[in-house]
Structure 1
Amino acid sequence: MQDPQNHYRHVNYLWSDEVADKLDPVDNLVYRSNLLGSDQRITNTGGGNTSAKLEETDPLTGKKVKILWVKGSGGDLRTATRANFASLYEDKLQALDELYQTMPEKGYKSAGEDTMVSLFPHCVFCLNQRASSIDTPLHSMIQKKHVDHLHPNAVIAIASCKDQERLTHEVWQGQLAYVPWMRPGWEAAKLCSDVYEKNPDIKGILLGQHGHTNWEDNSKDCYETSLWVIETAARYIEQRDKGEHTFGGARYQSLSESERNDILAEFLPVARGLISTANKFIATVQSDDATLRFVNSHDAQRLAALGTSCPDHFLRTKIKPLLVHWDPQQQSVQQLIDSFKTGLEQYRLDYSAYYEQCKHPDSPPMRDPSPTVVLIPGIGMIGWGKNKSESRVTTEFYNCAIEVMRGAEAISEYTALPQQEAFDIEYWALEEAKLQRMPPEKPLARDVVVVIGAGDGIGKATAHRVAKEGAHVICADLRIEAAEQTANELINIYGQGIGVAGSGISGCGPAVALSADITDRNNVKNLFEQVVLAYGGIDKVIVTAGVFLAPGQQGMSADEMFDASFAVNVKGGYIVATEAAKIWKQQNLPGALVLTTSVNGVVAKKGSLAYDTSKAAANHLMRELAIELAPLVNVNGLAPATVVKGSTMFPRDRVIASLSKYSISFAEDESDDDLRTKLAEFYATRTLTQQPITPEDQAEAAYLLISGQLSKTTGQIISVDGGLHEAFLR
């Protein structure tokens, strides 16, 4: 079955006997699954199932029993571990089949069909808590030891053609059988089992509109058969590819990257605000050659309107995308926005009509009728999701749909699922149950939070605090290396997110690092533009960046010290606020801004004139901004006091100078951390709470101010100073 030269052009052959032979049978199944899932041409994120029927020891009887290990519901082949596989007794699954045959109402849309899924827990081996996939009966009923069920683009392309049955026999020369579209489940599995029993020499089955299933008695052979199925389909399509005439040829020309970015920087915040009427969404922009070829083509309108074919696709992309009618060579950004508004309104009306026409008495309530995929000629595709990971996967799935349409149109004519069939998948009770099983979203899960000064101290602690609550965090700092360190810490904790690949702003996940000089308006403007291109907009901005310049420090004159203090501590906050305000206004979504000031802003003392007066000015800047940005944006201040731990404002020489000033004994060879601890403990003695103030204390207050828990508080300053009575409000 394998290519004679073991040479593949359309998939990657990754199997290693040296690795596989060292694994136990379950880990071998995991290994095969990971290899298949690592190539999106083989199956998409979260899609497909693999299985193995293995002999295990029953923990109660001690006897050997046959157990089906199959990838469970909601897992991803690429990242799957043993914990992602359900394990079920084969004899109990067969007993379920006997039960199904006695049910008065059978059929792939029957109540009996869904009842079978609720009985899977009665078949579980060793109390395995992994929820079983709807494809479990398919893997059980095919009487081969190893089974792969996959969704490759090339195979789905053939499964989506108007003459898909004829093509199945032609492409695979009779070694794959064909079954027409049927919703996954017990009835579909029975049909496939019957086809297999009548044709025991076939290697697999093409599932109309869906994908394929293949099998072998050996894990490696099953892997190679999967590759053979896909490679054969891809080569058949390749030989008939239409080249420059794909999708009817180009109707529009692509814009340059700089032109696209300029337009998107203006368009995305507006679009995000308009599309986020029910819930906020995060964006991912895709402008690769394959996407642009489709959105620029003559046939894009016809094909996009048909919708996607594979149920795995439209569960992410909705039944169809929104194609914006806009000429990139002739029309302005404002005309793009106007066209999007018109298209969005019509899309929501069409989706509501689709729901009303197809719904059943027991259908779940209509979900958000907004599109999750927006196509724009000359620009590309924008995917929308509840977080960055989901929006990335949404674009990935529609990329797959584009490849399916390209292949189908190369060899025949593309067809999509009928609307009723699509609806019955989208609003299937089992899909709704899967959604309900998902953990609740964290408070900031749909928020984009820019933390300026995230390289250390309060900023780093704040970045960690908001990330803990699910935020997408932009770690911005004058020192990019420090920002990158914080971002990497967050990624190591929370991961890149499913579907996220690459590096830098274009490959961002839950955290990304950017350089920021808040004294330079162009730099700040560029910072926010990059954030918009990465996520679609911004929600919260927290400025912790600041400078403390003591007399004689860094060889600066008093005037230079005064100018530098006001440039960072006052004008910097003003620049950040006014640039962010432009995006908040475009989005028309509630926002929050926190400026870090200081209790020194209300306490006059000797030795820090420039710093103290700049912080006093920052306090009033915050109040003025609260008025200027109301009612859309809440603006508040955070006023720390003597946060020594992790602060660049307390380098070793300043700490030693302060210890000497207060006659606190220390040794020259003590570490920086030990010296800072001594100073922090001294400062604590001057407070009412008698406790050192940490960056984490400040981060908690910063989080509180943007969390929504104080949504009716604006123009206020929270002092986190341990209780300095000198700073009490007067």
Structure 2
Amino acid sequence: MSRSTTEIYFRTVESKWDDEIASDMDLLERLVYRSNLLGSDAYINNTGGGNTSSKLKETDPLTDEEVEVVWVKGSGGDLRTAKKPNFASLYQQRLLNLQDIYQSKENTGLKTPAEDSMTEMYPHCTFNLNPRAPSIDTPLHSFIPYKFVDHTHPVPVIAIATANKGPQLTKEIYGDDVVWVDWMRPGFELGLKLQETIENNPGIKGIVLGGHGLINWANDDKECYELSLELINQAADYLSNHEKGEESYGGEKYQSLKKDERRAVLAEVLPFLRGQVSQQNQFIGTIQDDDLTLQFINSKDAPNLAELGTSCPDHFLRTKIKPLYVEWNPQEDSLEDLKSEITSGLEKYREDYADYYNNHSDEDSPDMRDPNPTVILIPGLGMVTWGKNKSESRVTAEFYTAAIGVMRGAESVAKYTAISKQEAYDIEYWALEEAKLQRMPPEAELSRQIIAVIGAGSGIGKDLVPKLIDEGATVIALDLKEDAANGTAKEVLDDIGMGIGVAGSGISGSGDIIGLECDITDRKSVQEAMHEIVIAYGGLDNIAVTAGLYPTPDQAGNVSDSAWDKSFSVNVKGNFIVADEASKIWKAQNLKGSMVITTSANAVVPKAGSFAYDTSKSAANHLVRELAISLAPNIRVNGVAPATVVEGSSMFPRDRVKASLTKYGIEFSDEESTESLRDKLAEFYASRTLTKKPITLEQQTEAIFQLLSTKLENTSGHIIPVDGGLKEAFLR
């Protein structure tokens, strides 16, 4: 019988190198290949962290002479997804010559300014006008006298690097093959230290960077890659042989709630929690509640270990100096107790962060950043991470997961240590890091917004979803038909190169959009959808309802009583049920939001044979006004009233289009395509307007977007017509 994951954590990694694939690549392509292999496993390297390099012979475009060029992962790149344009290229000799410049700057005694100023020199070393900005780790690669260098952040090696007996453990695990270098901030000085260490220890294969990670090298790229794995596996084997299993982190203090129970509690508490952490900047959430994460959070030592914070620079830039650990007993305390602990815990966390900033900042420091935590640990429930979008919150979860493994390993063989608060501050508020933040483009209009689109499987809703994604929103595509909702989500994710979102997985949600089934006439269905939305993203800001029902009359032009009921159920009551259930989330969050209901020009323009639809849409118009009053001041409610939109509408199947054309005496042929028939009908409807132009999906989605955005933040309780100028619908 195999041991459970909570009994053994550290695993060995296997080579994925394929000679058949690599043999057809040039050396630069092989650098990309090697990088992607190392970046494909978060156990080996964090998203966006680590770097690789190759020193290659290139032809100088100015002299036609052969020169040595360092190709190294550029600033902001990610090893897993990197392609050629993500690598900087620099003249190797020019980089080496910078050592003389650094020496003269260092002699002034101002080490930090000297260190920072060197990054301004890297562009002068650029080969062939490569626009990719070099990483601050460039000297680490240049100053190592080997052709190929890998710098990674493997969990087992960082566990050794953060142990208080790190140097002794390094010697015990690697003998004379790998040596230890004490913690140093990444940059020029560390590059010089590595160069000196290699000179003083001829024949070594790698270096454990105290508190940081692993760097190793070779004169063959495949050998370098496989050496990386070999050194990782040596550390993993050592740690697995010292595993404490169920006694890790001091053993269990709390028991986890069963999955369904903890998800129910999280669905209740997450909107409240999101509102609390979003008082300065709005966040999107991710839940992680797998067995290994819960084992740490439920343990006796978790509060003290969490308080120490992370050590690897890449970790705490995402996770902040430390997480918030919520002291809550899942077996004894109530939900109200949990909310109380969250409130008091956040107050203390913000005070601690302000003290951290004030105690370590100086007059040149940037302003204090958001003092709210990005990682929150709750016994019995799991870890909740926050970011400006889903991707960032998932990466934060990935980073703290790695930190948990690091603490597990370090505590199994020694004592876990973190770098000093001053060192942590100097990196978090490093001028170079601040400059990187300032260079980032401004956030999109709907960034940090979670938006549910109901009726996303077709028509206006389907066209609206990619518009919202392009504007930075996190979107839930809901439709009566699950396949249609997932189809819309998949189309969007395929366009941006991601897989379809799946709510309810170990790490909730898979991207900026998920598809969900929802029948808005069934309160239970709406409740289940709201539950999934909260579990996937932590809350909800805006809703756009584009779902509607046009009951088709029989041949005599009559609509059955049941069709009348269904029309009002979808077009009126369904909108109310959605608002009523969403209001529970909105109230708990106490954040600004909005709701847009798609009504119709028919709500004010009587039309023969359309009694049920027209009167239901008239009722929907008034529902907008009622909801605007009841949900104020935080939630704005408005409507968009299109004239008939034939394009892409599920309410205009071929038979209905033909019936309408016949009704209006418009000639057509049965051989014509459905789209051609729809175009004829749209042109007829356009002829009755002042602009004489068909109403398009794009015009409707733009109106909804404007109402969801801050551009109309003082508009509530109104119906915006998008009808081409129907004089019959003029305000009266």
C-alpha distance in structure 2 between counterparts of 1:162 and 1:108, whole Å: 30
Where does residue 110 of structure 1 map in the other structure?
112
**In structure 2, what residue type is equivalent to 1:373?**
V
Where does residue 151 of structure 1 map in the other structure?
153
Query: 1:126-172 CA distances to partner (integer Å, 9 max, x unpaired)?
Result: 11111110110010000100000111010000000111111111111
**In structure 2, what residue type is equivalent to 1:395?**
A
Structure 2 residue 269 is the aligned partner of structure 1 residue 264: no
Helix, strand or coil for the counterpart of 2:149? Answer: strand
Query: 1:434-468 CA distances to partner (integer Å, 9 max, x unpaired)?
Result: 21222221111100000000001011111122111
Where does residue 390 of structure 1 map in the other structure?
392
8 A contact 1:504–1:512 mirrored in 2: no
8 A contact 2:477–2:515 mirrored in 1: yes
Where does residue 91 of structure 1 map in the other structure?
93
C-alpha distance in structure 2 between counterparts of 1:312 and 1:389, whole Å: 16
The alpha-carbon deviation at position 489 of structure 1 amounts to 1.5
Where does residue 52 of structure 2 map in the other structure?
50
The alpha-carbon deviation at position 105 of structure 1 amounts to 4.0
Where does residue 5 of structure 1 map in the other structure?
none
Query: 1:25-70 CA distances to partner (integer Å, 9 max, x unpaired)?
Result: 1010000000000011111110100000000011111111100000
| Aligned counterpart in structure 1 of residue 204 of structure 2, from 202, 223, 241 | 202
Q: Are residues 74 and 329 of structure 1, via their aligned partners in 2, closer, same or farther at CA, if it must alter by over 3 Å?
A: same
| Superposition map of 1:547-586 within 5 A | 547-552=549-554, 558-586=560-588
The alpha-carbon deviation at position 555 of structure 1 amounts to 12
The alpha-carbon deviation at position 557 of structure 1 amounts to 5.5
Structure 2 residue 180 is the aligned partner of structure 1 residue 178: yes
**In structure 1, what residue type is equivalent to 2:354?**
S
8 A contact 2:163–2:414 mirrored in 1: yes
| Aligned counterpart in structure 2 of residue 125 of structure 1, from 127, 131, 142 | 127
Where does residue 292 of structure 1 map in the other structure?
294
| Aligned counterpart in structure 2 of residue 515 of structure 1, from 517, 521, 525 | 517
**In structure 1, what residue type is equivalent to 2:382?**
G
Query: 1:599-646 CA distances to partner (integer Å, 9 max, x unpaired)?
Result: 100011211000000000010011111111111110001101110010
| TM-score for the superposition, normalised by structure 2 | 0.97
The alpha-carbon deviation at position 430 of structure 1 amounts to 1.0
8 A contact 1:106–1:113 mirrored in 2: no
| Superposition map of 1:365-514 within 5 A | 365-496=367-498, 506-514=508-516
C-alpha distance in structure 1 between counterparts of 2:469 and 2:138, whole Å: 36
Query: 1:305-324 CA distances to partner (integer Å, 9 max, x unpaired)?
Result: 11111111000000110000
Helix, strand or coil for the counterpart of 2:119? Answer: helix
8 A contact 2:206–2:214 mirrored in 1: yes
8 A contact 1:284–1:384 mirrored in 2: yes
The alpha-carbon deviation at position 685 of structure 1 amounts to 0.7
Query: 1:678-724 CA distances to partner (integer Å, 9 max, x unpaired)?
Result: 11011111111111111111111000101111111110000101110
Query: 1:249-278 CA distances to partner (integer Å, 9 max, x unpaired)?
Result: 100000011111111111000010011011
| Superposition map of 1:304-383 within 5 A | 304-383=306-385
Helix, strand or coil for the counterpart of 1:619? Answer: helix
Q: Are residues 97 and 222 of structure 1, via their aligned partners in 2, closer, same or farther at CA, if it must alter by over 3 Å?
A: same
C-alpha distance in structure 2 between counterparts of 1:694 and 1:474, whole Å: 23
C-alpha distance in structure 2 between counterparts of 1:414 and 1:36, whole Å: 26
C-alpha distance in structure 1 between counterparts of 2:110 and 2:571, whole Å: 66
Query: 1:361-418 CA distances to partner (integer Å, 9 max, x unpaired)?
Result: 2111110000000000001100000100000000110000000000000011111111
Q: Are residues 71 and 453 of structure 1, via their aligned partners in 2, closer, same or farther at CA, if it must alter by over 3 Å?
A: same
Where does residue 717 of structure 1 map in the other structure?
719
Helix, strand or coil for the counterpart of 1:577? Answer: helix
8 A contact 2:501–2:514 mirrored in 1: no
Q: Which stretch of structure 1 is more off in the superposition, 358-367 or 215-224?
A: 358-367
**In structure 1, what residue type is equivalent to 2:64?**
G
C-alpha distance in structure 1 between counterparts of 2:519 and 2:47, whole Å: 38
Query: 1:528-586 CA distances to partner (integer Å, 9 max, x unpaired)?
Result: 11101110100100000000012228999521111010000000001011111111000
| Aligned counterpart in structure 1 of residue 641 of structure 2, from 633, 639, 642 | 639
Query: 1:238-259 CA distances to partner (integer Å, 9 max, x unpaired)?
Result: 0000011100110000001111
C-alpha distance in structure 2 between counterparts of 1:527 and 1:89, whole Å: 56
**In structure 2, what residue type is equivalent to 1:547?**
L
8 A contact 1:494–1:510 mirrored in 2: no
Give the fraction of aligned pairs with identical amino acids, expressed as a percent: 58
| Aligned counterpart in structure 2 of residue 212 of structure 1, from 209, 214, 219 | 214
Q: Are residues 557 and 619 of structure 1, via their aligned partners in 2, closer, same or farther at CA, if it must alter by over 3 Å?
A: closer
Query: 1:153-209 CA distances to partner (integer Å, 9 max, x unpaired)?
Result: 100000001111111111111210111000011111101100101212000111000
Structure 2 residue 533 is the aligned partner of structure 1 residue 531: yes
8 A contact 2:48–2:77 mirrored in 1: yes
Q: Are residues 625 and 645 of structure 1, via their aligned partners in 2, closer, same or farther at CA, if it must alter by over 3 Å?
A: same
Tell me how large the CA RMSD over aligned residues is: 1.6
Matched positions, count:
721
**In structure 1, what residue type is equivalent to 2:219?**
D
Where does residue 628 of structure 2 map in the other structure?
626
Helix, strand or coil for the counterpart of 1:86? Answer: strand
**In structure 2, what residue type is equivalent to 1:350?**
D
Where does residue 37 of structure 2 map in the other structure?
35
Helix, strand or coil for the counterpart of 1:422? Answer: helix
C-alpha distance in structure 2 between counterparts of 1:258 and 1:501, whole Å: 20
C-alpha distance in structure 1 between counterparts of 2:222 and 2:526, whole Å: 54
| TM-score for the superposition, normalised by structure 1 | 0.97
8 A contact 2:249–2:301 mirrored in 1: yes
C-alpha distance in structure 1 between counterparts of 2:726 and 2:178, whole Å: 78
**In structure 2, what residue type is equivalent to 1:299?**
D
8 A contact 1:107–1:187 mirrored in 2: no
Structure 2 residue 79 is the aligned partner of structure 1 residue 77: yes
C-alpha distance in structure 2 between counterparts of 1:271 and 1:207, whole Å: 37
8 A contact 2:621–2:639 mirrored in 1: yes
8 A contact 2:509–2:537 mirrored in 1: no
C-alpha distance in structure 2 between counterparts of 1:707 and 1:617, whole Å: 25
| Aligned counterpart in structure 1 of residue 606 of structure 2, from 604, 607, 612 | 604
**In structure 1, what residue type is equivalent to 2:408?**
R
Where does residue 679 of structure 1 map in the other structure?
681
**In structure 1, what residue type is equivalent to 2:361?**
K
Q: Are residues 590 and 9 of structure 1, via their aligned partners in 2, closer, same or farther at CA, if it must alter by over 3 Å?
A: closer
Q: Are residues 565 and 175 of structure 1, via their aligned partners in 2, closer, same or farther at CA, if it must alter by over 3 Å?
A: same
Where does residue 6 of structure 2 map in the other structure?
none
C-alpha distance in structure 1 between counterparts of 2:282 and 2:550, whole Å: 38
Uncovered stretches (5+) of structure 2, i.e. residues with no partner: 1-9
**In structure 2, what residue type is equivalent to 1:598?**
S
C-alpha distance in structure 1 between counterparts of 2:504 and 2:258, whole Å: 20
**In structure 1, what residue type is equivalent to 2:487?**
Q
C-alpha distance in structure 1 between counterparts of 2:627 and 2:503, whole Å: 35
Q: Are residues 556 and 319 of structure 1, via their aligned partners in 2, closer, same or farther at CA, if it must alter by over 3 Å?
A: farther
8 A contact 2:504–2:535 mirrored in 1: no
Query: 1:652-685 CA distances to partner (integer Å, 9 max, x unpaired)?
Result: 1110011111111111011111100111011111
8 A contact 1:550–1:607 mirrored in 2: no
Helix, strand or coil for the counterpart of 2:94? Answer: helix
Q: Are residues 556 and 192 of structure 1, via their aligned partners in 2, closer, same or farther at CA, if it must alter by over 3 Å?
A: farther
C-alpha distance in structure 1 between counterparts of 2:44 and 2:108, whole Å: 33
**In structure 2, what residue type is equivalent to 1:262?**
A
8 A contact 1:281–1:384 mirrored in 2: yes
